[in-house]
Each structure stands twice: as structure tokens, then as C-alpha cells.
């Protein structure tokens, strides 16, 4: 019986082998693609015919006020993110400390800065002078708060400390993702806790930390725009200042949107390379580092 069936299959195979193959057709996909192209054409047409003065967009795209705002946006993103990452690492390590005071203060920090709106925090920092007219060490050195906490400082502290609270959780999850055996192996070759963290745990935690932090850098670029309410002259605030004067509202908003997209695109490219770097020893990666074999004589 089975011999007969096998013979039948064999006969079919011989007949089928030389035939032409016609690929399956996906009619649904063709329809969907056509609909999307149609919608796209409609949007393009609407913008082309709409009340937008494109020459104005082009003119203001590289205007000094806009470029100055762009520089301030980038500076604030870099500074606030740097502060956020440093605070995030410090508070993540404090959170994981056996010392209840360290752990408690980390918990409080994360609870407070994640639990209140960012805009409120910015306003608090900006109005700090109302509570503390002077800051410093009493009797040693003191400054007037109003001289120190201007729009830049208030924005930096607001964005950076808020970011730190989120980054602390990201860093903590990254550290927890590294197998405890890695720590034990590091200890067994005589590493101290801090060296273990720096050389063994954090480099491996980076693989888990980078994608969410990259995500947060991108949202930071855009979050800086809320600093316009406390007079930090970033790109959106400068665009507003310009359109209050010339009434070209949409044109200047398009200019701002264009610059945000450019910055975010560059950051995404950077993130791709960073992720590749930290995925060492995880399958996909760049060329292997070579250790020079300097054997002396």
C-alpha cells in the first residue's frame, strides 16, 4: 500500500519539476497602496494650494533668530540629558543600596519628580527666589537666587531633575538585566564593587539602557519647547516672537517643525551606531577589536 503511494508521488514529482511558477498575487495590498498614494497626493495638493507663503518658510529657515533658538534647544537638550543621566545612574545605584537612608532618598526623589507635572517643576524652579531669596552656605558664600536661577538654570534643573527620575528606573532595569554570575566572576578575580560596576555590569547594562534613553533624548529635544513659558529662548519661543511681529504663524511653525525633525533624525542615526557598539558579544556587532600582541623582544 505505502509502496504504491510513494510510487504515485514520485511520478507526480517528475511531471511537476519543470513547470513555471506564478507568484501569488496580493490584490488587497495593491488596493491599499493605491489608496495611500491618493491620500498623499491630496495632502500635497492641499499644502501647495493652501495659504502658506513658502518663500517665507525658506527665508526664515536660516534666520538668525531661528538658528539662535536652535542652538539653545540643542544646548539645553545636551545639558539636561547629561544631568538626567548622571542623576539617573547615581539614584539607580542609591536605590539598590542596602543602606535605608540612601534607598529612601532615591525613592523619594523618583516619587516626587515623576509624580508632578514637568511644567509645574519648571515654574517652581523659576520662582525659587520667592521662597529662598538667597542661596549658598550661610556666612561663607551667598548669592541672590534671582541672579543664579534665570531661565537657563531653571530649565536645566527642571528638565534634568525630571529626566533623572525616569532615567534612574531605566538604569536600574539595565543593571538588573545583567546576570548575577557576571558580578560573582568579577568579584572572584578580585574586583571591588565599584570596579565591577564600571567594567563589567554597566557596559552590559548599556545594551538594555540605550534604546529607552535614546527614546528619551528624542522626547527631550521636544520637551525643551515648554521652557518657552519661562522665557528660555529656544527655537519655538523665538519662532513665536517672530510671528507675533510678522503674523506668519503657520510658516514659522513649519520652520520649527522642520528643524525639530532634522535634529531628531540625526539623533536616531546616532542611536543606531551606539546600539551597535554596545551589542558586542551579542551576535550582531561590528568588527572585532584586536588586542595588539606586543610580546616585547
Partner 1 sequence: MINASDKDIVVAANVTKQFGSLKALNDVSLAIPFGAVQCIIGPSGSGKSTLLRCINQLEKIDGGAIWVDGELIGYRRVGDELHELSDAEIARQRLTTGMVFQRFNLFNHMTVLQNIIEGPLTVMKRPRREIVAEGMALLERVGLAEKRDSYPIELSGGQQQRIAIARALAMKPKLMLFDEPTSALDPELVGEVLAVMRDLAASGMTMIVVTHELGFAREVASDVVFMDKGEIVERGAPDAVLVAPQHARTRDFIAAVLK
For cell 538585566, the residue is: 177
Number of Cα atoms under 13 Å in the Cβ half of residue 28: 1
60 CB-near residues (< 8 Å, 6+ apart): 66, 242, 248, 251, 252, 255
CB 274 to partner 1: min, Å: 14
Instruction: Select 186 or 221, whichever has its Cβ closest to partner 1.
Output: 186
DSSP secondary structure code for residue 183 in this structure:
H
For cell 497626493, the residue is: 41
CB 29 to partner 1: min, Å: 38
CB 263 to partner 1: min, Å: 30
Asked if residue 76 lies in contact with residue 234, where contact means CB atoms within 8 angstroms, the answer is yes
Cα 30 from chain centre: 36
User: What residue ranges bind partner 1 (CB under 8 A)?
Assistant: 179, 181-182, 184-193, 195, 199-200, 203-204, 278, 280-283, 285, 288-296
Give the C-alpha separation, 147 to 129, whole Å.
9
Instruction: Select 183 or 240, whichever has its Cβ closest to partner 1.
Output: 183
Q: Name the phi and psi angles at 132, rounded to 5.
A: -120, 95
Asked if residue 285 lies in contact with residue 279, where contact means CB atoms within 8 angstroms, the answer is yes
Instruction: Select 51 or 295, whichever has its Cβ closest to partner 1.
Output: 295
CB 115 to partner 1: min, Å: 34
Is 23 in a helix, a strand, or coil? coil
CB 247 to partner 1: min, Å: 56
CB 107 to partner 1: min, Å: 24
Instruction: Select 89 or 178, whichever has its Cβ closest to partner 1.
Output: 178
All three cell numbers of 35, joined, read 489608496
Instruction: Select 12 or 293, whichever has its Cβ closest to partner 1.
Output: 293
Instruction: Select 127 or 195, whichever has its Cβ closest to partner 1.
Output: 195
Amino acid at each position: 500500500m505505502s509502496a504504491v503511494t510513494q510510487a504515485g508521488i514520485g511520478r507526480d514529482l517528475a511531471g511537476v519539476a519543470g513547470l513555471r511558477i506564478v507568484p501569488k498575487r496580493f490584490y488587497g495590498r495593491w488596493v491599499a497602496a493605491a489608496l495611500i498614494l491618493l491620500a498623499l497626493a491630496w495632502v500635497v495638493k492641499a499644502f501647495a494650494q493652501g495659504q502658506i507663503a513658502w518663500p517665507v518658510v525658506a527665508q526664515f529657515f536660516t534666520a538668525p533668530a531661528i538658528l539662535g533658538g536652535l542652538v539653545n534647544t540643542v544646548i539645553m537638550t545636551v545639558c539636561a540629558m547629561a544631568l538626567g543621566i548622571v542623576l539617573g545612574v547615581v539614584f539607580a545605584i542609591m536605590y539598590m543600596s542596602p543602606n535605608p537612608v540612601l534607598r529612601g532618598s532615591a525613592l523619594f526623589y523618583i516619587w516626587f519628580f515623576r509624580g508632578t507635572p514637568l511644567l509645574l517643576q519648571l515654574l517652581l524652579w523659576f520662582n525659587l527666589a520667592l521662597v529662598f531669596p538667597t542661596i549658598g552656605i550661610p556666612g561663607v558664600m551667598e548669592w541672590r537666587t534671582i541672579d543664579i536661577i534665570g531661565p537657563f538654570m531653571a530649565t536645566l534643573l527642571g528638565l534634568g531633575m525630571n529626566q533623572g527620575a525616569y532615567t534612574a528606573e531605566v538604569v536600574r532595569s539595565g543593571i538588573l538585566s545583567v546576570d548575577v554570575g557576571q558580578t560573582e566572576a568579577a568579584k572572584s578575580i578580585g574586583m571591588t564593587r565599584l570596579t565591577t560596576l564600571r567594567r563589567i555590569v554597566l557596559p552590559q547594562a548599556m545594551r538594555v539602557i540605550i534604546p529607552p534613553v535614546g527614546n528619551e533624548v528624542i522626547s527631550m529635544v521636544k520637551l525643551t519647547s515648554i521652557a518657552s513659558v519661562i522665557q528660555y529662548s529656544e527655537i519655538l519661543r523665538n519662532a513665536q516672537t517672530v510671528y507675533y511681529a510678522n503674523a506668519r504663524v503657520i510658516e514659522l511653525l513649519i520652520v520649527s517643525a522642520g528643524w525639530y525633525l532634522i535634529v531628531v533624525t540625526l539623533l536616531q542615526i546616532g542611536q543606531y551606531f551606539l546600539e551597535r557598539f554596545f551589542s558586542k558579544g551579542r551576535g550582531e556587532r561590528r568588527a572585532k577589536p584586536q588586542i595588539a600582541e606586543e610580546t616585547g623582544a
